[in-house]
Amino acid sequence: MKTHALVALTVLSLSSFTTQAEQQNEIHRVGAQLNGGSASYKGSSKDGDGVGSLYLYYNYQINTSWALELGINSGSEIDSWECKELRNDRVICDRNDKLLFDLNANKIDLINFVVAAKGQYKITDNSYLYGKLGGQYYDYDIARNSNKLIQETGLGVFAEAGWQYDWNNGFAMNVGLQYMDMGDLDTSSLSAGISYRF
């Protein structure tokens, strides 16, 4: 499954992007996106192994089709909540603190420093398909409360593919699928973000 996903994202990202997008020579873009999805550790995943993150990035537009991206991603586990409605329109919510993976853990914190190539293909005047492929330096901790069980750092693969809409005023929005391979830990997320080019 991991190999098929990487091959598909690589083909999308490295395919021939021959669009001649007009963006008034604006070569810089800064953006932010929220990611939410699932994680697996050593191939183990189960209900409740959700992660969320904030990804901040900068693009330098090399030409109309290609850009260099530098980014930083910071994330953690997503806890679900169970809410019950009581009398008199009162609601009580409790955190559903499920254990992560097959470990006696309930917390994960991660940070990633990304360098990637971004290619885009114009489908309408302001609408593009895009693909990103690169590498990232990762640092993550898996813990039970404040007791760290696993702490890992290293280099891994970063990939993303999606759709972007650019307004003429410089603002843009995007939605996509993001994948990060961090050795024993993998994340697959749905992404939604905004950016500004100048």
* pLDDT tens for each residue of 146-158: 899 999 999 999 9
Distance, in Å, from the CA atom of 118 to the CA atom of 17, rounded to the nearest integer, reads 10
For residue 166, pLDDT beyond 90: yes
**CB-CB neighbours of 157 under 10 Å:** 18
pLDDT interval class at 170 (50, 70, 90): very high
135, amino acid identity: G
In this predicted structure, what is the pLDDT of residue 108? Answer: 92
DSSP run (H or E) holding 14: helix 2-14
Chain centre distance of CA 134: 13
CA nearest 188: which of 147, 163, 160? 160
In this structure, is the dihedral angle defined by the CA atoms of residues 165, 166, 171 and 172, taken in order, positive or negative?
Answer: positive
Question: According to the model, what pLDDT value does residue 172 have?
Answer: 98
Chain centroid to CA 67: 18
Residue 89 above 60 pLDDT? yes
**Which stretches of the chain are assigned E, i.e. beta strand?**
28-41, 50-61, 66-77, 80-85, 91-96, 107-122, 127-144, 147-166, 171-182, 185-197
CB atoms under 10 Å from CB of 12, counted, come to 20
Say which amino acid occupies 53.
S
Which of 19-28, 34-43, 87-96, 186-195 is predicted least confidently? 19-28
What does the pLDDT look like over 36-76, one tens digit per residue?
A: 999 999 887 555 578 999 999 999 999 999 999 999 999 99
The amino acid present at 178, given as its one-letter code, is Q
State percent of the chain over pLDDT 90.
Answer: 64
- pLDDT over 50 (residue 19): no
Whether residue 16 has pLDDT greater than 60: no
Global pTM? 0.80
Which of the two residues, 80 and 35, has the higher pLDDT score? 35
